[in-house]
Structure 1
Amino acid sequence: MEIKLIQNEYEKEIVDLILNIQQKEFNVPITLEDQPDLLNIKDFYFESGGCFLGAFIDGKLVGTIALVKFSAEAGAIRKMFVRKEFRGKEYSIAQQLLEQLIQYSEENGLKNLYLGTVTILQAALRFYERNNFITIPKETLPDDFPIMRPDNVFCHLQLNQTK
């Protein structure tokens, strides 16, 4: 498996991966029109100092995670998706994607990571809890946190301050 920074050249693969999981697997009521970021990854994620990572097996995109840097010291995790057949401890793709995003965040001076998700994604919530994220009330999110319409559960991770 290879994890690397990806941008607009992978737009079709990214859209296919994410929309299939959101709509077909989990029946989340979200469309491509609700996610214009997917059609301009470079401007939406990289221009602010964030990133978009893709996990590849045999040249095929099997997982994504993205970081929206929304303030000097905080970022929002977005687009954490792994194809169903590549989930779990056998591959550890989600874990490796998250670890690389955390490393990128720390190297770029972030102190806090936040994310929003939906209640139905219980495995995702357990995954974040295992990685030391704590569930927080929506009211305690930073004012500039970019909330996605379907999100109803929010988490926070304070990054390692040893640097």
Structure 2
Amino acid sequence: MLEISTVNNTHSKSIIDLILNIQQKEFNVPITIEDQPDLLQIDDFYFAKGGSFWGAFINGELVGTIALVKFDEKSGAIRKMFVKKEFRGKEHNIAQKLLETLISYCNENGIDELYLGTVSILKAALRFYERNHFTIINKESLPAKFPLMSADNVFCYLNITL
């Protein structure tokens, strides 16, 4: 049974294992834990600024993550949206449930605008965001305070008040 709950520094090891395996082994993205220090300081990086970090668990195993960086009064960035390969797709619907959890949090906390950066090779991820009404935007259209990740080369936007 799927359970989605907030995760924090106490979950760092399983979060890092999940994310690095997907980034490095599955998609060959040249990124390391050193490039993602936020994963070693989840409480300070996400929660302290008004964001959050969620994990999807099946029978106690972490199978997916999503995080929100609140970077402006009414704006947030989606980060760390990953689901283990064998748990992807409509059968489990984990990515959709993670995104809905994040959007509910935004609605409850006055965050109206969501942005995200991703990598162009993650074609299924881009299709997922487009199905959820995100619009692809130019890097130049990002707000000045948007927390850029060096690997990202595709950017999306969603106004969740519409």
What TM-score results when the alignment is normalised by the length of structure 2? 0.98
Q: Quote the residue 1:21 is aligned against.
A: 22
Q: Which amino acid aligns with 1:138?
A: K
- Counting only pairs closer than 5 Å after superposition, residues 14-163 of structure 1 correspond to structure 2 as 14-160=15-161
Q: Whole-Å Cα distance in 2 between the matches of residues 15 and 150 of structure 1? A: 17
Over aligned residues, Cα RMSD in angstroms?
Answer: 0.6
Superposed CA offset, 1:44-65 (max 9, x none): 0000000000000000000000
What TM-score results when the alignment is normalised by the length of structure 1? 0.98
Please list every run of at least 4 consecutive aligned residues from structure 1 whose deviation after the TM superposition is greater than 6 angstroms: none
Q: Which amino acid aligns with 1:32?
A: I
Q: Whole-Å Cα distance in 2 between the matches of residues 32 and 130 of structure 1? A: 30
Q: Secondary structure at the residue paired with 2:90?
A: coil
Count of residue correspondences: 161
Q: Whole-Å Cα distance in 2 between the matches of residues 20 and 105 of structure 1? A: 29
For residue 160 of structure 1, report the CA deviation from its aligned partner: 1.9
Identity of paired residues, percent? 68
Q: Which amino acid aligns with 1:78?
A: R
Structure 2: runs of 5 or more not aligned: none
Superposed CA offset, 1:6-53 (max 9, x none): 101101000000000000000001000000000010000000000000
For residue 106 of structure 1, report the CA deviation from its aligned partner: 1.2
For residue 90 of structure 1, report the CA deviation from its aligned partner: 0.1
Q: Quote the residue 2:4 is aligned against.
A: 3
Q: Secondary structure at the residue paired with 1:151?
A: coil
Q: Whole-Å Cα distance in 1 between the matches of residues 39 and 157 of structure 2? A: 23
Q: Which amino acid aligns with 2:66?
A: I
Q: Whole-Å Cα distance in 1 between the matches of residues 13 and 31 of structure 2? A: 17
Structure 1: runs of 5 or more not aligned: none
